[in-house]
Amino acid sequence: MTGRWFVGHLLSAVGFGLSILSVSVIAAYLKHRSYKIPLFILPVMAIGAGLYAAGLGADGIGPIALKNSGASPTLFFDGSGWFVSGTFMAATLFFGVGLISLVVHANQSSMVEGVWRYIIFISALVFVTVPAIPSGWGLYGVAIAAYGVFAPLGIAVFRSA
């Protein structure tokens, strides 16, 4: 269980880092099609991705370190309180604002069409709302929502290449 917890958090953190590469590629694609996205999107999403990676690192390593030292992992959650939660809230705010803006501009540019326009928009909304659900399943919802945004956008980029 400990290894799976750590690997899951590590993969999620790497995924957030790679999302910035994805946004850069999408922005270049739109620029190539003579549609520019606002300059604030990439830095805001990069800040959010960095905060997510920091929160995932703390949340993934802190409890494991306590468990390996012989203490209860719940001490981490009791002691970190708003530090980790606040980091995730700020990450969701920054990344979410950039993600929704990216999706709106991708839809306006007709980068995706048909039902995919709705899927990426709803996925972006799910991305920013699912972390508010108090459960251990929030990270899974965030991951599925991220796929709902980035997979159709990535397919649109690769189809035109």
CA distances, 107 to each of 3, 122, 156 (Å): 40, 12, 12
pLDDT tens string 4-26: 777 777 788 888 889 999 999 99
The one-letter amino acid code at 36 reads: K
Q: Does the pLDDT value for residue 53 go beyond 70?
A: yes
Report d(CA 110, CA 88) in Å as an integer: 32
Question: Which two three-digit tokens encode residue 109?
Answer: 């540019």
- Angle, helices 115-129/82-108, rounded to nearest 10 degrees: 160
- pTM for the model stands at 0.87
pLDDT tens string 60-81: 777 777 788 888 877 777 777 7
CA distances, 97 to each of 46, 90, 93, 128, 129 (Å): 11, 11, 6, 8, 12
